[in-house]
Amino acid sequence: MVEGSKFYAPTTLTDYPGQDVRRGSCDSGYKQKQEASKRKALGYGRYRPVSGTTQCPSFICAHFQCFNTSWKVDAFTNDDNKAGPFTEESSFATLFPKYREKYLREVWGAVTRALEPHAMACTLDLIHGSMSVRTTRKTYDPYIILKARDMIKLLARGVAIGQAVKILDDAVACDIIKIGNIVRNKERFVKRRQRIIGPDGSTLKAIELLTGCYVLVQGNTVSAMGPYKSLKEVRRIVLDCMKNIHPIYRIKELMIRRELAKDPKLATESWDRFLPKFRRRHLTSAEKSAKKRETITAKAEARKAVVDTNGDKMEVDTTEPPKKKKKVYTPFPPPQLPRKVDLQLESGEYFLKASEKEAKEVARRKQQQAEASVQRQAQRAEAYVAPEETKVATVEEKRRKRKREE
């Protein structure tokens, strides 16, 4: 494996049987991982080193020291599929809401054109409100069916066609985060969901810039597209926000991590001492009372220091408000309230027949309706009551009044 002082890099996956590119501590890039898993499933694949970079496959690092090379994986083409066409047809379907029907009908041609190079077929069912994708006899990529499934999911959740098509790239993944069942209170749910967006979308823009992901908040879900590691950060931010942890804390942490990653000296050190630690502290009842007393005292002192316009101090009542009297403790529980059956026994209603009970209920309803109709008629009759007319003074009366005043 080692020739002189130079390292010998394996050219195929078969050089290290049992090793998996997707595992390990080093990151060789998400696109390389996916392509390697495809080639390994088919039994083919060849890596070509590209100098000038600092990334390497995980299983190489397990045996050798890391050297400045990364591994370029060729695009998966029809020639790589030596097994020929698939023996079975694979398909996925997803439902979409009614308000997306018009948009999907307009852009379905673009969806079909995007799937044509991969030899995938798609169907839009407007009757049942569903979209489906399936493989054909010409499909050569075994992983593209999962990418097409993600694309129709994103389209159903409100993502535009121009953005949803990007999921067909192997370097891009998606995550649809469900947030509808985290908070029960509707008003609280709307407030916390709005925190993810922020004023004029500023918080959402900050998340997109720091993670490199596309994020869309729609209804009870949050759709995200981007690299795998960044999707983990987006999921963490969204779920923490719905659990009443403001996104600004996670955004600040991501900004610090980005600056620390620029320093090569800190590559092998722990970053815990640089990251902020936010703790939620709940005050006890005694601490709350002490804080309340301090506030009352500070207000009283501020009132004493107020000076009147004449220079004299204003008289301020600094007496504390009367305290509420404590209830006398009794070891006996309060009297038990009567049950519905007990009340019916007292009134004799319990012993009535079903028909009698029904007749009594009908009579009660009629009485209520009669009282309500009387009140409504009285309110309507008020509009027809003539207002009191003011008597206009005659000419003689005006003269007499003028003489009296003179």
pLDDT in tens, 371-380: 999 999 998 8
% of residues, the chain, pLDDT over 90: 41
Is the pLDDT reported for residue 3 higher than 50?
no
Q: 282: which DSSP letter?
A: P
**Strand locations in 6-68, DSSP E?**
6-7, 48-51
Looking at the DSSP bridge assignments, the partners of residue 69 are 51
Pick the range with the lowest mean pLDDT from 30-39, 43-52, 127-136, 260-269: 43-52
State how far the Cα of 195 lies from the Cα of 210, in Å rounded to an integer: 17
Instruction: Quickly count helices (H) and strands (E) in the chain.
Output: 13, 10
- Amino acid occupying residue 283: L
Mean per-residue pLDDT, 96-123: 93
The pLDDT value recorded for residue 69 is: 43
What is the pLDDT, as a whole number, of residue 382?
Answer: 86
pLDDT-based confidence at residue 272 (cuts at 50, 70, 90): confident
Residue 64 clears pLDDT 80, i.e. is over it: no
**Is the pLDDT score of 228 beyond 70?**
yes
pLDDT over 70 (residue 152): yes
Average pLDDT over residues 148-161: 94
Q: How far is Cα 288 from Cα 321, in angstroms, rounded to an integer?
A: 18
pLDDT level of residue 70 (50, 70, 90 thresholds) = low
Kindly report which listed range (208-217, 261-270, 353-362) carries the lowest average pLDDT score.
Answer: 261-270
Q: Is the Cβ–Cβ distance between 167 and 147 less than 8 Å?
A: yes
Look at 75-89, 171-185, 204-218 and tell me which has the smallest mean pLDDT: 75-89
2-6, 67-71, 91-95, 214-218, range with the lowest pLDDT? 2-6
Residue scoring higher pLDDT (341 or 48): 341
Averaged pLDDT, 391-402:
85
Beta-carbon contacts of residue 156 (< 8 Å; ≥ 6 apart) = 94, 95, 96, 97, 100, 131
Element holding 120 (H helix, E strand): strand 120-125
Give the rounded percent of residues in the chain with a pLDDT score beyond 70.
77
